[in-house]
Amino acid sequence: GENVEQHPSTLSVQEGDSAVIKCTYSDSASNYFPWYKQELGKGPQLIIDIRSNVGEKKDQRIAVTLNKTAKHFSLHITETQPEDSAVYFCAARGNTPLVFGKGTRLSVIA
Amino acid sequence: DGGITQSPKYLFRKEGQNVTLSCEQNLNHDAMYWYRQDPGQGLRLIYYSQIVNDFQKGDIAEGYSVSREKKESFPLTVTSAQKNPTAFYLCASSLRAARGSYNEQFFGPGTRLTVL
């Protein structure tokens, strides 16, 4: 089955700097890769997703890149703000329900 | 106001008791899911259902049971056979769970279960 690895597990950045979170997946059949943001005590919320026929997608300060050959995808947050502090999860779906990485706790220091 | 509701937000039970967590959605989604979240473990799939009266085991189904009698509802029972039931439980739904689908998966607010 699918296995998703996520790095780093924790990340601290200064406000205004960029943050990058990386994930790898194992199943070449996976074709949908969402990213979720989870604030303390709440359910995860989708922030951006990418399909396997696209290499990059942007939404304001957030971008996701996908390298199908290497089986990895990354989340990029530019001009970070304190409200970006949360836990971020990557996920992959192919022939099975979504499989999640273990999460990255992002802290943006003002 | 559409979405997924989970109740209660906090739940306390004594060891050895079964407990049922509620999940309701009014998004007209076919597929529903239950995840367990532990610190540092990410989201692990317990059960999922693609259609009414049908459900499949996820990665950690032992000690749990579900039912799907209505499209809107997917309750999860944590039985006394579950060795470490204390966790944060998340319910989710999507339009379809079909293979290769791109459907967004929406999450509820979660229920924190503590077994004393």
Rounded distance between C-alpha atoms, residue B24 and residue B8, angstroms? 12
Interface of B with A (CB under 8 A): 4, 33, 35, 40-45, 48, 58, 90, 92, 97, 99-102, 104-110, 112
- Is A36's CB within 8 Å of B48's CB? no
pLDDT per position as a tens digit, A3-20: 999 999 999 999 999 999
The label of the residue with tokens 């942007």 reads A58
* Mutation for testing the A interface, residue in B35, B102, B104, B113 having most A CBs under 10 Å: B102
Evaluate whether B48 touches B55 at the Cβ level (below 8 Å).
Answer: yes
In one letter, which amino acid is A30? Answer: S
Q: What is the pLDDT of residues B51-107, one digit of tens each?
A: 999 999 999 999 999 999 999 999 999 998 888 999 999 999 998 765 556 678 999
pLDDT at residue B98, as a whole number: 59
Contacts of B52 (CB under 8 A, 6+ apart): B68, B69, B70, B71
Whether the predicted pLDDT of B26 surpasses 80: yes
- Give A89's contacts in chain B (Cβ within 8 Å): 42-43
CB contact under 8 Å between B40 and A98, yes or no, is: no
Q: Give me the mean pLDDT over the B4-21 stretch.
A: 93
Nearest CA in chain B to A39: B109
Name the band, by pLDDT with cuts 50, 70 and 90, for residue B40: confident
pLDDT digits (tens, 9 = 90+) for A31-81: 999 999 999 989 999 999 999 888 999 999 999 999 999 999 999 999 999
Give the 3-state DSSP-derived string for B40-97, with helices as H, strands as E and coil as C: CCEEEEEEEEEECCEEEECCCCCCEEECCCECCECCEEECCCCCCCCEEEEEEEECCC
Q: What is the pLDDT of residue B96?
A: 76
Question: What is the secondary structure of A2-44 as a DSSP string?
Answer: --EEEE-SEEEEETTS-EEEEEEE--TT--EEEEEEE-TTS--
Q: Distance between CA B20 and CA A16 in Å, rounded?
A: 45
